[in-house]
Each structure stands twice: as C-alpha cells, then as structure tokens.
Amino acid sequence: MSDNSTPDEDVQDAVEARVVPVSENKVHWPTPTLRGRSFKKKLNKTATDWLFESLLIANHQHYLVGEKESNKSMLMLWIAVQFALDDGGGVVLYLDEENDPGDIENRLADFDLTDEQREKLEERLIYVHFPSLRLNTPTGAQVVLDNIALTSVDLLIIDTVSKFVDGPEDSADTYKKLYEHLLVNLKREKVASVILDHPGHVDQGRPRGTSVKLADVDNGWAMKKGKVQPDGTTDITLTSIKNRSGALPKKVYVRKLLNPLRFEFSLTPFKDSTPTEEPEDVKVRALRLLGEEFPDGVGINKGREFLKGNGVKLRDADTNDLVRAFNDGLSDPESGAGQ
C-alpha cells in the first residue's frame, strides 16, 4: 500500500495487474497421455464374443469353483484342447500346480487325439507343470505377462489359484494384489483367463476365502458333480455365480462320456443316460453266453433271466430281442446270430 492510496485503490491495482489480454498470454496445456474411448454410435449392439460357447467370453476373467474330484481340471483340459484345436480358437497357456504330468498324459490319451491333433497342440497349448510362480507379486505376474506377449496367448488357465499366491487365502489384500499385478493387465491386453478354485466350507457355491476373489473377475461358475452312472457317464451342472455382462446363461449342463473321454454341453438338462443302444460287445457277449448254455434254443423269459444272472445289463425289451435273434440264428445258420 502506498502512502497516498486507499485500500480500495490497492485492491483494484492488484486485480488489473493480473488481468492480461488472452492474445498476449496464451495458455499451453500439456498433450494428454490418457486416451479415452470413442463414443460414436454403432449401428448394432456388439455381439458377445464367445471364446467357448455359453461358458467363456473373450477378454473376460472367469472363476471356476468346484469341489475336489468334481472333474474341474479334466473339464478345463478338455476345453483348452478344443479351443487350441479349433481353427477359430487360439493359443492357451495352462499353469498347473495340481496335477501330475503322468495324469495329464493319461487324460490326453483318453481323449483319443490323432497324431495331427497332437502336433497342433505342440504349437497352441503351452502346458506348464509346477512353475512355482506367485502371480500376486510383480515378478511372478511379469513372467506370465512376458510369456503371453511372446506367444500371443488368448486364454490363460490357472489351476489352482491358492497355489499361485503369496499371503493368507482369507485376506482381501492377497487377491487385490493378484488383480493389481496380473488380472488388470490381462484385461488391458485382451487376454481371457479361467481361475480354478475350491469352494468355501459353508457356501459350496462360492470360492473359499475372501469375497474379493469374485469381485475382481467378470464371470464365475460353480461346478457340481452328479451321480456317476454304471456306464461311466457323469452329469455335471455349472451354475452362474457372477455375470458382469449379463450374457451368461444361469446354468450349463455338462455330460462326461467315456471311450473316448469327452464332454457334451447343453442349456437344458440331459435325459437319463441309460443308453438306447448298448455297445456291440455287450450284445456279442450275450449271444455267446446263450450259445454256450442253450445250443438248441431257449424261451424268451428263461433266456432273459439267464442273461441278467450273468451280468448282461440291458433293458428287458432289448434282452428279449437278443434272445429272439439268437433263436432265429439257430434256424437260419447263415445269419450268424446264434454263433
């Protein structure tokens, strides 16, 4: 304040000193480093990009929760193989801290893969046993991310997550770090993942431990194994427990079949697995038993009860047809039914 000025005049002078014409003092903002998405209207809604129909969505992170011996590792290996073999599929990185290499080779043998299919898997299924990585640490996560970039991986499978983290399973911080170091980077790089886990002790439909596990993924499935049928068929139900996009069905029904080992999928429950047509070797055995016991033929009822007593498991109508075919073969040797 000058000796001859009033307080109001000093305030006015200060304001005028700060007001500079725009043309004389242009503001230069720094170039933005954060690039936003486009909001231009698209003609149609984007269709769901299924990585595996009805189960896995491309670029999404998934949880699969299942009890011990529920076949979750076997199912994921089957899905990994099918995705890798499909011309429209891609590259899979499977990290396994659970299963013995010999067990995996036996399952691959049970899949009855051709030499050509196995050769394709050499290029598109990267299966790593016991990598001893902690994926909720910067170092462990970066090893995986570097390999994903190097081999153009489309799907990462982690079996089982508790073996791949440092820290208590019931600690939110343990799994927040998994998101921070790995999962958010997978989303950024447009890589899908499936994280296998065991269910909680109280709620079998949720992963064991902290609720953060589901909070940091897009989708979740709870797997429940049904009764194993005499022919080895097993029905499995997958129930959606997290569905961020809304695209997943509430349930997917899975049927495990043998010889060769394979899985079928449906949005409706499967019908009873009692086969309508028994394998040929069962019928051949039944005819052989009849021929050994009744070389001159046998009545329908007696033949049926005989076969049941000797462990031939067929529906009564099918057994009756076999006995008739056996008797017809005796009267017509060229048919071979009684031989």
The answer to whether residues 167 and 297 belong to one domain is no
Residues 255, 142 share a domain: yes
CATH number for the domain spanning 262: value is 3.40.50.300
What is the pLDDT confidence band of residue 212, given thresholds at 50, 70 and 90? confident
Structural domain contains residue 305: yes
Are 136 and 261 in the same domain? yes
DSSP 40: P
Q: Is residue 238 domain-shared with residue 290, that is, in the same domain? A: no
User: Which residue reads 């979750």 in tokens?
Assistant: 72
pLDDT band at residue 179 under the 50/70/90 scheme = very high
Q: Say which residue the tokens 């000058």 belong to.
A: 2
Contact 206, 248 (CB under 8 A): no
- Select the more confidently predicted residue: 276 or 255: 255
| Distance (Å, whole) CA 187 – CA 60 | 7
Produce one character per residue of 185-196: b if its CB has 16 or more CB atoms within 10 Å, e if not. bbbeeebbbbbb
Range of lowest pLDDT (12-21, 137-146, 214-223) = 12-21
Q: Please check whether residues 104 and 225 belong to one and the same domain.
A: yes
* Residue 56 identity: L
Q: In total, how many domains does the chain have? A: 2
Nearest CA to 207 out of 182, 170, 232, 238 is that of: 170
Residue 194 falls within a domain, yes or no? yes
In the listed set 242, 266, 290, which residue is the last one of a domain according to the structure?
266
Residues 287 and 232 both lie in one domain: no
Q: Do 146 and 294 belong together in one domain?
A: no
Q: In this structure, is residue 275 part of a structural domain?
A: no
Shared-domain flag, residues 304 and 210: no
Asked whether residue 89 falls in the same domain as residue 122, the answer is yes
- The Cα–Cα gap between 73 and 54 comes to 18
pLDDT tier, 5 (very low <50, low <70, confident <90, very high otherwise): low
Whether the per-residue pLDDT at 6 is higher than 50: the answer is yes
- The answer to the question of residue 336 being in a domain is no
* Lowest pLDDT segment from 15-24, 28-37, 92-101: 15-24
Say what the pLDDT of residue 29 is: 64
> Which of 39, 48, 3 shows the shortest CA–CA distance to 244?
48
Instruction: Identify the domain containing residue 320 by its residue range.
Output: 282-329
The SS3 assignment for 248 reads coil
